[in-house]
Chains A and B, each alone.
Chain A
């Protein structure tokens, strides 16, 4: 028997790193992406202008950046806006969005599901129901297939 049957370290080697034909996604300079404008969104929420806040928070999504802080900040901001809506207004909110808006909203919703906080999942589920009615399963498929997301 060979000596190294004891050590299992070789199992942790990432063989893909040694593959010279490994598929690499194209770099798309996302250093300048800062996410939605926090100040603008906050002021709109304070004013009670939630529809505008929704549109503002869906602008400049940090899709191409690798900066996790920017992404977390954007997600938090979106959650803030979504939570501020009255349940009965959610449907109108979703319907004011265009196709791309609905797809983007779906991405944020699933991102939000990944790290639930106190009441977030309940709010997100309500939004999910309305977004699904507008975007269909296709919008969920696009959340799954997007190689770069929020």
Chain B
């Protein structure tokens, strides 16, 4: 079930992140319409009203993440920079992050405890950034080996240490992003016990295509990813890190999200979110399409119009629209409300410039 898209349509490529205050449900989102500006919208009644603009980047925004607890936004762009934005006296103030990358940034994610964030880039490395109080700036440590191509997606494990990364080198990996300067040594997880910075705890080769999106399960013991060969896969740490891959008959999926311990939502070039379920290795199945097709009014076309269409366009249908809510590929899914173990609402943004908010029925 979905609520209607209420943003004005503009250029393709919108990113969204979400914030929901606990005590008063004030919906705010940060989106970028395929340019170098981040717009902040607030839901006032039925409308989304633009309340702010974050302009600092000189290149196209490629990633936005909003940390709900500390209320900070991190943005990254093709200009090889990232900024951390903090709200001071109702004004968002940027702080430059020293990434030390020589290619565009591609994606960025705050860690669960929000004391660091990870950033993927075309420089074939991941920058794990943390705040250095002494010098009042954000520092970064690089994870390079064994990444061979652009990092396309990131996902944090709930333990704030492990980081999954999908890459254009057709691999899906889990790294340790443990920064000893800011946190205690982590305890063992199902993925492994030794976690020095940069350690590889999972490396799945040949995922079949570029790995567009990765997502840890709520407890962190499973990792789902979608690849460009129209497949979705899940690695299960509790079962020897076994990987189950499901080839779909659809166009490639671009974004994947665990909405509960066993249910997964994924969406992509088919413009429609799909639900999958994972019970155990070997058991990854398609459940259903989550978009209810629009009722078309084909029946009410007159005979005259019928022949007119045949004559002009050699087609009987007067339907140029897709029968899904999104009219173009969905590029990103984002949790809007609900605990990650039981997501209530999630959003999808697409190349059609629309954002749709969906409610997941568990």
Contacts and interface: CB of A to CB of B under 8 A. Distances in A.
Interface of A: 21, 23, 26, 99, 103, 135-139, 141-142, 145-147
A136 B124 contact: no
B148 A141 contact: no
A144 B108 CA distance: 29
Interface in B143-170: 148-149, 169-170
Contact of A141 (B124, B149, B251): B251
Contact of A26 (B205, B209, B248): B205
A61 to B, nearest CB: 16
A22 to B, nearest CB: 9
Contacts of A141: 228-230, 251-252
Interface in B279-314: none
Contacts of A139: 247, 249
Contact of A142 (B148, B170, B208): B208
Contacts, number: 42
CB-CB nearest 8 A-B residue pairs: A136-B249, A138-B230, A138-B249, A145-B229, A145-B209, A141-B230, A138-B248, A142-B229
Interface in B332-359: none
B194 interface: no
Contacts of A21: 124, 148
Given A141-B229, A141-B230, A145-B209, A135 B148 contact: no
A110 to B, nearest CB: 15
Interface string B237-262: 00000000001111110000000000
Given A23-B148, A23-B169, A146 B251 contact: no
22 contacts: A21-B124, A21-B148, A23-B148, A23-B169, A26-B205, A26-B206, A99-B247, A103-B247, A136-B248, A138-B230, A138-B247, A138-B248, A138-B250, A138-B251, A141-B230, A141-B252, A142-B230, A142-B247, A145-B208, A145-B228, A146-B208, A147-B170
A30 B124 CA distance: 29
Contacts of B252: 141
B249 A146 contact: no
B209 A137 contact: no
A139 B230 CA distance: 8
B207 to A, nearest CB: 10
B148 A146 contact: no
A137 B228 contact: no
A146 B229 contact: yes
- Which of A23, A145, A146, A147 has the largest number of chain B CB atoms within 10 A? A145
A139 B249 CA distance: 6
A23 B149 CA distance: 7
Given A141-B229, A142-B208, A135 B149 contact: no
Contacts of A99: 247
Nearest to A136: B249
A102 to B, nearest CB: 9
A135 B209 CA distance: 18
A135 B230 CA distance: 11
Nearest to B148: A23
Contacts of B206: 26
A146 B228 CA distance: 10
Contacts of A26: 205-206
Contacts of B248: 136, 138
Contacts of A23: 148-149, 169
B24 to A, nearest CB: 44
Given A138-B248, A145-B229, A147-B170, 18 more contacts: A23-B148, A23-B149, A26-B206, A99-B247, A136-B248, A136-B249, A136-B250, A137-B230, A137-B249, A137-B251, A138-B230, A138-B231, A138-B250, A139-B247, A139-B249, A141-B229, A142-B208, A145-B208
- Which of B209, B228, B229, B250 has the largest number of chain A CB atoms within 10 A? B229
Nearest to A143: B229
Nearest to A140: B230
A67 B241 CA distance: 35
A21 B149 CA distance: 9
B206 to A, nearest CB: 8
Contacts of A137: 230, 249-251
A88 to B, nearest CB: 24
A141 B247 CA distance: 10
B36 to A, nearest CB: 28
A138 B247 CA distance: 7
